[in-house]
Every structure is written in C-alpha cells, then in structure tokens.
Structure 1
Amino acid sequence: MIRILLAEDDEAMRTYLTRALEQAGYCVVAVASGAEALPMIKTEIYDLLLSDIVMPEMDGIELAQRCNELSPDTKVMFITGFAAVSLRASREAPQAKMLSKPFHLKDLVMEVERMFEDVAAASL
C-alpha cells in the first residue's frame, strides 16, 4: 500500500485531504507542520510527501529539500493557493508536482495515481 505523509497546517483541509486519500486506498499519516513531519521522514519510509507550501516554522519547500536529502526515493507533491509561491517551489524543488488550490478531491487522487502509475504497472 502506498504511504503518504501529509503536511498541512489547516486542520479542516488536513482532515478533508486525509479522508479523501484514505477512501482512495492510500495509507495517510497527517501532521500539522513541516517541523512535525521532518522527524517522521527520518524514522519511517513514505512513498509520497504531500505538503502545503506556506506553513509556520518550516515551509513545504524546505521540508521537501530535507526530505530529498533523507529519503531521495520519496516523491513530492505540493498543494498551494499562492501563485508566486508555486513559482518559487518549481525553482527550488523542480522534481515536485504542484497542485493549486482550489482543486477537486478527484483531481488530487488522480494526480497521486499518476505519480505511481509506474509502481502499479511494475506490480502487475
């Protein structure tokens, strides 16, 4: 089962995204900040880091950069509502997928599925 670490500081959004991804069959561990996510990346293996970009303490870009150092096989997807921030993210974390708010949950699930199509094909 694909394991997702979700870092989202907005509690309602975190709950909403967690539910949608779990209903789609993913194992989701949700945390409220990059600072909370970082120790988990050090001790557990995740297939995907799904992170808001704008968060207090440690933003999603810094979290993604640290994740890449600690767990280079973990894929990264950002969610953001700020266009200027997404430009910075694509420069500083070029391998990351970007999903701009607002988005429909089916779009999120579809993007996650696309990221793991190669994994699904390999297991057939």
Structure 2
Amino acid sequence: MTATDSIKILLAEDDEAMRTYLTRALDNAGYDVKSVAMGTEAVPLLESEHFDLLLSDIVMPEMDGIELAQRCGEISPKTKVMFITGFAAVTLRASREQPQAKVLSKPFHLRDLVLEVERVFEDRAEASL
C-alpha cells in the first residue's frame, strides 16, 4: 500500500478537457479522484463523503472556486484546498481570501500538479511512518 492509496480528491473544473486530463493524471498517480463540472455539484459530495483535498478551478459558472472553498471549510474543515487558475488577478484574490490554499497557475505540467498534491500530503505520509 502506498501513501496515495487512501487519499481522496474532489476535482471541480468546468473545462471538460482539462477535467478529464487532470483526473487521468491524478488517477495514474494513485489518487482516488471524483470530478465535477462546477462548484454547485461539489457541495453535495462534500456533504456526503470525506475528501482529503478539494482541487478547484477558481473561475467557474454558478459558484466560483473561492466560494466553493469557503463552503468546503464550513462543511469539511479538515479537507485541504488547492486552486488552479489561468488568471493572475484571480490568483491574488485567492491568496488573500484563502491564504492556506495552494494556487497553481495554468498552464502547468501534469508532473507539477502531481508534485504539488504530493507536497500537500507529505506531513500525512511522514506521520504514518
């Protein structure tokens, strides 16, 4: 059993191609990934299941990633948050409103995404040794 086996990730990304691409990369890295097209689809999952990480685009219709992260904090305070975005100004807003969340700017290499997710859980892996 590897450290990634029990880690569950909820991915909220409105771009279907990007969502498929990210899901495949994280699946291949050994994570258990559920993906949704928007924040409003993520909230019921956060209410009904435990996720270790919320990986969310920031700019999405209906509910943006920052609002989703705030809801996640209310529903599941132990769930870590990481944002992905292609907009520099949005990155600054996310850093201000969710200072504990990592922000990964598009474009990024899939290897970089997997490395950032691994970093989020390094403490957890070390604690289980």
Could you say which TM-score interval applies, normalised by the shorter chain? over 0.9
Structure 1: distance between partners of 2:100 and 2:76: 14
Deviations 1:62-94 (A, max 9, x none): 000000111110000000000000111111111
After the TM superposition, which segments of 4 or more aligned residues of structure 1 sit over 6 Å from their partners? none
1:23 to 22, 25, 28: 28
* RMSD between superposed Cα atoms in Å: 0.5
Give the structure 2 partner of residue 38 of structure 1. Answer: 43
Residue ranges of structure 2 left out of the alignment (5+ in a row): 1-5
Which SS does the other structure have where 2:78 is aligned? Answer: coil
Residue ranges of structure 1 left out of the alignment (5+ in a row): none
Give the structure 1 partner of residue 64 of structure 2. Answer: 59
Give the structure 2 partner of residue 119 of structure 1. Answer: 124
Give the structure 1 partner of residue 8 of structure 2. Answer: 3
Structure 2: distance between partners of 1:45 and 1:15: 22
% identical aligned pairs: 78
Deviation, structure 1 residue 122: 1.2
Deviations 1:3-43 (A, max 9, x none): 00000000000000000000000000000000000111011
Q: TM-score, normalised by structure 1?
A: 0.99
Structure 2: distance between partners of 1:33 and 1:73: 21
**How many correspondences in the alignment?**
124
Deviations 1:86-111 (A, max 9, x none): 11111111111000000000000000
Structure 1: distance between partners of 2:69 and 2:113: 18
Give the structure 2 partner of residue 110 of structure 1. Answer: 115
Q: TM-score, normalised by structure 2?
A: 0.95
